[in-house]
Chains A and B, each alone.
Chain A
Amino acid sequence: MAPTPKTKLAKRATVLEEAPEKVLQAVIVADSFNRRFRPLTLETPRCLLPLANTPIIEYTLEFLALGGVEEVFLYCSAHSDKIKSYIKSSKWSRASSPFEIHVIYSPSIMSVGDVMRELDNSRMINDDFILVSGDIVSNISLQAVLQEHKARRLVDKNCIMTTVLREVSPNHRSRPRGENAIFVMDSKRERILHYEPLKQSPPTERVGVPKDLVKANPKLCLQENLLDCCIDIVSFEVPPLFTENFDWQHSRKDFLHGILMDELYGKTVYGHILKTGYAGRIQSLQTYSSICRDVTNRWTYPFCPDSNLTEGHTYKYTRGHIYKEADVILAQSAIIKENSIIGSGTKIEEGTVVQSSTIGRNCFIGKNVTVNSSIIFDNAIIGDNCVLGKCIIAGDAHVSSGSVIESGAIISFGVEVEKDSRVPSTAKFTKYTTSGTEHVKTKTLNEYEDSEDDEEEVIETSVSGLRAIRAPSDSGSDISDIEEELGAKKKHKRSNSESEVDSFAREAYHSLLGALKQNHSVDIMILELNGLRMSANAEFNDVRRATASAVISYIYSKITPADAVDKIVDPVIEKLLPLFNRMIFDVSDQAEILGFMQKDLAGKEKGGAILQTVGMKLYNEDLVDNDGILTWWNDGNGPKGETEDMKKVREATSQFVKWVREQDEDSDEDDEDEDDEEESDEDD
């Protein structure tokens, strides 16, 4: 993947030779754009959920402060009012804050890609910046990473990103299940050459590495043991790239994969592999619970409860990783075992055993309760004789006496659990309803069901206890589509793989058609199409199908009875030549695209004429050769289920085909030459 500057994109890469005392900027994406923390995130944004009794965003901000960041842009979408008011009242908004913080609310943000596009529009970025999500917990030194990135930028001007990767063992508890990927790196383990996300279910069995990559690099390093914590040092050239590829959503699946797959950009991405330090991202409930443990066990030092990051906290450390705030009332026979955190005002009654749990402020825990590995938010009430497993009990929830909450259950804000009930591990209770009115029942308000028979989740339960809800990849932001969410999510998920391709075809069709109508340059169309193809992992025949449909419907919309068909068709095809060049590789492709066009034109007025003109034009431009046309013609002749309409269209081109056939017989050698030329075209 030699950096071959090809388009004006590359020209944009004006690297600043030296950055004299520029303000170090960071962008926080405070929205997770998925629903893994439902139903908790129905009421609170994920970044304000407490992690070891401190809002998650605090860890991210402290991390940035530690790294010497001087300006922070915090983008939020769902629950933006809550985030805004939180930040406003926090120490970060005061003059003493180590950085200036701007909370930017945009309801249209649905993905990281949108944030980057907003960022590009805002023109607030003037140098390389740090891109993190609002749920990072880390104590690494950003300065070291930054210095390395800057030094690299001076050498390699095409380096647009350095991503921080932490080496961890494969079965590490803090690795997000289902979020892993293979990084193909160069022999020095610096440059990332290829990125391939791994699917959890069905497990990815093969990973394709582009042939060229292997040719160009005799030594490759494939690593799966890297924890991608989504801390990126991003060059200021990246937001414009997102603007140009307006379909890029995900910073990894789309952007990283896209940039690396497409030589067109000629950009390079580097990885900073950490061997020490802590870096984790709360991506799922599973990582939430494990990172909570990490914080308690002081892996994230100095960001531990007894550092009292939030003002007003008074945690004190006692041996065994037990943290207690002032004014905790413990009955004499209550036992607090290791790895526990207890907030102030909490009262724990006789005979209760608390282990490896986080308990918020002003909670009440009754007699003879067993709390093991639970996370309990502020103001919760747990009745006598309850047994709590590895569950989450949100604020103001009331678990009546005698209840058993199994591992994996989530009791959201304000829910009351009836006496002596048994909450299964799959239960997710919430009081939240779409209408906003609260049911006041005693038990099981909107039961938030998930696919219980989902194998993947069963696996995760056994691994971590807290289930990671796998969200559909195309899910929106935290708050959207609540009704749908409360309904059956299962089906949505199951149909994921098919719908992705369908949606690709639809999106590609619309984007191309739109581009044609607005007379965009063909380069942009290519970029768009490529991005779409990669994000949907679509095949080339899908691309051809979409292109054929788009081109035909564009042409069709232009056709007027008065004009000659070829006057319309010729300029369009001519313009789109580079596009066709990138999707037609061999004879069968040629036949296929003609077939698609035929299908689209079936039953339309002048269909035959259009098809003939297009075919001729393609033929003249060497995009389609004799073999291609004949293959298509002959295919159609076979029993391929050609409808009457389609047949009609095909018949109209018989004259052209006949002529082609004659040509073919004349000169076979020419064909080969043309073939060669075509191939060489594709290579660059």
Chain B
Amino acid sequence: MVADENPAALAKFLKVANTAKAKDLTEILIGLLKRRQIKSSRNVAKAVAKLLLRFVSQNKNTKLSEVNGLIKDVRELGRLLVASQPRELVIGNIVRRVLGVIREEGNEENLHQSLADLALGGRISRASSVGDDSSAYSNPNSGTVTPASNRPFSRDGRDHEEDIDDLSRRKSKVYIPNLGRGLTRVGSFQAPNPSFSEGNLQHALFSLLNTSPLPIDSPGTLTPNLRPEGREPALDDKDIRGDVIDGIKEIMEELDMVDEQLAQQSETHIHSNEIIMVLSSSITLQTFLMKAAIKRKFTVVMVETYPNDHYATQEVLKSSRYNKSAPKPGKAVPPPTPLTPLTPKDEPMTPAEFKNTLTSMGVETILIPDSAVPAIMSRVNKVIMGSHVIMRNGALITNSGARTVARCAQQHCIPVVVVSGVYKLSPLYPFDPESMLETGDSSAVVGWEDGDMVGGTEIFNPTMDFVPDSLVDHYITNVGGYTPQNLYKLVEEQYGSAVDNLE
């Protein structure tokens, strides 16, 4: 069984999602998850985000005063989903992200209120679109905490923004949804009250450390949002639905953009004439490699990852083999497709698309069985893996066989690099790693038709492997590179300090 995604099931779900009631939709998704019809991390993430979008848009508790009710509802939903497939930790990730968005919206409004109480609010107008990292608001009533706009002062904050971007090492088009909307508020703080701005400044500095930057390509949101004064009485009845939905939409956008964002960093990690061992047939990783192949010449050693992923891995390589070896008579050689420019696409590449482009990139690709990994390791410069989920402490859950490879790489002092979207980063700590690993279909190991084996042996087929943090050297995420030891910072950024138990 190929650990392949089932795009049909996801597509169908997304289609149904546009019309169905949230409650039914939840049950449909639970069914799909239980039947493993939606199973790769990204597809699960997309489905969950879509469900949450529908859920929030149909929830009654979207008034500001009821924000705790909304949080409770979403958390309940999250628990249901997590229980239906506890090994897809990405469900929890997305739910927590959305909870973060809701908290922000709630706190943002509360903050305004408290600021108004501090007699500062006379000059602060409420932004219609709001949101920022919740950690900054964890104590909204404290006078020392100031609005978390990290673009203070004025509309000319744009230059400033880019400085921040540079500082935080994140280049271009990095979408961090819960920060993106900070921009909107830039114009809303019109009054540079001395104490106020000082606070702002403090916070801006603080945010350099623990928040992510803005998308630079959204200047439209910089438009100042001038509102008349004196809106406080109606605050409690404000509906935050639209804002939360925007936040979820940004998460969904992020999911679509992850591959491109990751690929842009590939050149800095892959150098010419390197031999790179690759463990994963995922599209993310292939895009990453291809992007690097535009400028660099290197060799890829693909690990087969039998028995769960070998079909997909072979699929990726088949066409490149055709092109290299003399084509057998009677077999049509796929015409070499012109190099498709790697501009951001609306849709992720399909494996078929990939195999043609990889060939045309001229990357020398070698497929080895898993057993050959130790033998070939000494010649490898770098090991690159995909991931299923990244744990808070820097441990990794990915295709089975990865741990052996990582351990072998460590023995040879070869760096192990993991390429993964930040949505796969879980705030959980792996206390019981085994419970997070899926055990798959035994028939991938031995065919069920073999009566002697079926009756006479015990067969286990774990589809995932747990790689402890000590075996991973570097994580490349769509918001930059991290060492396993520093991942907790990213966790803070993504999920804030709130702890949501979804178990």
**Residue positions of A touching B, CB distance < 8 A:** 62, 65-66, 91, 94-96, 98, 139, 166-175, 275-278, 294, 297-299, 301-303, 307-309, 314, 316-321, 338-339
Query: With A275-B449, A276-B443, A297-B458 as given contacts, are A98 and B31 in contact (CB-CB < 8 Å)?
Result: yes
CB of A66 within 8 A of CB of B439, answer: no
Given A98-B31, A173-B454, A275-B447, list of 10 further CB < 8 A pairs?
A65-B35, A95-B24, A96-B25, A98-B28, A169-B451, A298-B440, A299-B441, A299-B443, A319-B434, A320-B458
Contacts of A139 in B (CB 8 A): 441
B 434-477 binary contact with A (CB < 8 Å = 1; else 0): 11000111110001111110110011110000000000000000
> How far does the alpha carbon of A316 sit from the alpha carbon of B435 in the complex, in Å?
8
Contact of B23 with A by CB under 8 A: yes
Query: With A169-B451, A298-B461 as given contacts, are A96 and B35 in contact (CB-CB < 8 Å)?
Result: no
- Across the interface, name the chain B residue whose C-beta is closest to A171: B451
Q: Which 4 A-B pairs have the closest CB atoms?
A: A172-B451, A96-B27, A301-B441, A169-B451
> How far does the alpha carbon of A318 sit from the alpha carbon of B454 in the complex, in Å?
20
Contacts of A171 in B (CB 8 A): 451-452
Give which listed residue, B27, B35, B459, contacts A297 with CB less than 8 A.
B459
> How far does the alpha carbon of A347 sit from the alpha carbon of B470 in the complex, in Å?
40
Q: Count residues of B near A (Cβ-Cβ below 8 Å).
A: 36
CB of A321 within 8 A of CB of B447, answer: no
Contacts of B110 in A (CB 8 A): none
Contacts of B459 in A (CB 8 A): 297
Contacts of B460 in A (CB 8 A): 319, 321
Q: Which of B29-61 contact A (CB under 8 A)?
A: 31, 34-37
CB of A321 within 8 A of CB of B458, answer: yes
CB of A91 within 8 A of CB of B27, answer: yes
Query: With A65-B31, A94-B24, A317-B439 as given contacts, are A170 and B449 in contact (CB-CB < 8 Å)?
Result: no
CB of A170 within 8 A of CB of B451, answer: yes
28 A–B contacts, CB within 8 A, in A order: A66-B37, A94-B27, A95-B21, A96-B23, A96-B24, A96-B28, A166-B448, A168-B448, A171-B452, A173-B455, A175-B451, A275-B449, A276-B443, A297-B442, A298-B440, A298-B441, A299-B441, A299-B442, A301-B1, A301-B440, A301-B441, A302-B34, A302-B35, A307-B35, A308-B83, A317-B439, A321-B458, A321-B460
Distance of A97 from chain B, by nearest CB (Å): 8
Interface hub of A166, A298, A318, A319 (most chain B Cβ within 10 A): A298
CB of B442 within 8 A of CB of A301, answer: yes
Contact of B154 with A by CB under 8 A: no
CB of B458 within 8 A of CB of A66, answer: no
CB of B443 within 8 A of CB of A277, answer: yes
Give which listed residue, B1, B31, B447, contacts A96 with CB less than 8 A.
B31
- Across the interface, name the chain A residue whose C-beta is closest to B36: A302
Contact of B84 with A by CB under 8 A: yes
Distance of A66 from chain B, by nearest CB (Å): 5
- Across the interface, name the chain A residue whose C-beta is closest to B23: A96
Contacts of A276 in B (CB 8 A): 443, 447-448
> How far does the alpha carbon of A66 sit from the alpha carbon of B31 in the complex, in Å?
10
Contacts of A172 in B (CB 8 A): 449, 451, 454-455
CB of B439 within 8 A of CB of A298, answer: yes
- Across the interface, name the chain B residue whose C-beta is closest to A464: B455
CB of A308 within 8 A of CB of B451, answer: no
B 360-384 binary contact with A (CB < 8 Å = 1; else 0): 0000000000000000000000000
> How far does the alpha carbon of A272 sit from the alpha carbon of B450 in the complex, in Å?
19
Contacts of A314 in B (CB 8 A): 83
Contacts of B449 in A (CB 8 A): 166-169, 172, 275
> How far does the alpha carbon of A400 sit from the alpha carbon of B439 in the complex, in Å?
38
Contacts of B86 in A (CB 8 A): 316
- Across the interface, name the chain B residue whose C-beta is closest to A173: B455
Distance of B20 from chain A, by nearest CB (Å): 8
Contacts of A301 in B (CB 8 A): 1, 36, 440-443
Distance of B224 from chain A, by nearest CB (Å): 46
Give which listed residue, B20, B31, B448, contacts A278 with CB less than 8 A.
B448
> How far does the alpha carbon of A277 sit from the alpha carbon of B447 in the complex, in Å?
8
CB of A173 within 8 A of CB of B442, answer: no
- Across the interface, name the chain B residue whose C-beta is closest to A278: B448
- Across the interface, name the chain A residue whose C-beta is closest to B455: A173
Distance of B466 from chain A, by nearest CB (Å): 13
- Across the interface, name the chain A residue whose C-beta is closest to B443: A299
Contacts of B450 in A (CB 8 A): 169
> How far does the alpha carbon of A579 sit from the alpha carbon of B31 in the complex, in Å?
56
> How far does the alpha carbon of A66 sit from the alpha carbon of B8 in the complex, in Å?
12
Interface hub of A96, A308, A316 (most chain B Cβ within 10 A): A96
Query: With A91-B27, A98-B31, A338-B458 as given contacts, are A298 and B442 in contact (CB-CB < 8 Å)?
Result: yes
> How far does the alpha carbon of A91 sit from the alpha carbon of B29 in the complex, in Å?
13
B 420-444 binary contact with A (CB < 8 Å = 1; else 0): 0000000000000011000111110
Distance of B458 from chain A, by nearest CB (Å): 6
> How far does the alpha carbon of A168 sit from the alpha carbon of B86 in the complex, in Å?
34
Contacts of B36 in A (CB 8 A): 301-302, 307
Distance of B28 from chain A, by nearest CB (Å): 5
- Across the interface, name the chain A residue whose C-beta is closest to B457: A297
CB of B447 within 8 A of CB of A66, answer: no
Contacts of A275 in B (CB 8 A): 447, 449
Interface hub of B21, B31, B450 (most chain A Cβ within 10 A): B31
Contacts of A309 in B (CB 8 A): 34
> How far does the alpha carbon of A297 sit from the alpha carbon of B21 in the complex, in Å?
37
CB of A173 within 8 A of CB of B451, answer: yes
Interface hub of B83, B451, B458 (most chain A Cβ within 10 A): B451
> How far does the alpha carbon of A62 sit from the alpha carbon of B435 in the complex, in Å?
24
Contacts of B28 in A (CB 8 A): 96, 98
Q: Which of B70-95 contact A (CB under 8 A)?
A: 83-84, 86
> How far does the alpha carbon of A317 sit from the alpha carbon of B83 in the complex, in Å?
13
Contacts of A173 in B (CB 8 A): 451, 454-455
Contacts of A65 in B (CB 8 A): 31, 35
- Across the interface, name the chain A residue whose C-beta is closest to B438: A317
Contacts of A302 in B (CB 8 A): 34-36, 441
Contacts of A299 in B (CB 8 A): 441-443, 448, 454
Distance of A483 from chain B, by nearest CB (Å): 39
Distance of A460 from chain B, by nearest CB (Å): 15
Distance of A168 from chain B, by nearest CB (Å): 4
Distance of B246 from chain A, by nearest CB (Å): 27
CB of A308 within 8 A of CB of B84, answer: yes
Interface hub of B23, B24, B27, B440 (most chain A Cβ within 10 A): B27
Distance of A546 from chain B, by nearest CB (Å): 44
> How far does the alpha carbon of A317 sit from the alpha carbon of B31 in the complex, in Å?
19
- Across the interface, name the chain A residue whose C-beta is closest to B25: A96
> How far does the alpha carbon of A663 sit from the alpha carbon of B455 in the complex, in Å?
73
Contacts of B434 in A (CB 8 A): 318-319
Give which listed residue, A66, A316, A318, A339, contacts B35 with CB less than 8 A.
A66
Contacts of A294 in B (CB 8 A): 448, 454
Interface hub of B21, B26, B34, B37 (most chain A Cβ within 10 A): B34
> How far does the alpha carbon of A339 sit from the alpha carbon of B458 in the complex, in Å?
9
> How far does the alpha carbon of A316 sit from the alpha carbon of B86 in the complex, in Å?
9
- Across the interface, name the chain B residue whose C-beta is closest to A143: B8
Give which listed residue, A169, A175, A307, contacts B34 with CB less than 8 A.
A307
Contacts of A338 in B (CB 8 A): 458
> How far does the alpha carbon of A98 sit from the alpha carbon of B24 in the complex, in Å?
10
- Across the interface, name the chain A residue whose C-beta is closest to B434: A319
Contacts of B435 in A (CB 8 A): 316-318
Distance of B340 from chain A, by nearest CB (Å): 30
Distance of B460 from chain A, by nearest CB (Å): 7
> How far does the alpha carbon of A276 sit from the alpha carbon of B444 in the complex, in Å?
9
> How far does the alpha carbon of A651 sit from the alpha carbon of B1 in the complex, in Å?
79
Contacts of B442 in A (CB 8 A): 297-299, 301
Distance of A175 from chain B, by nearest CB (Å): 8
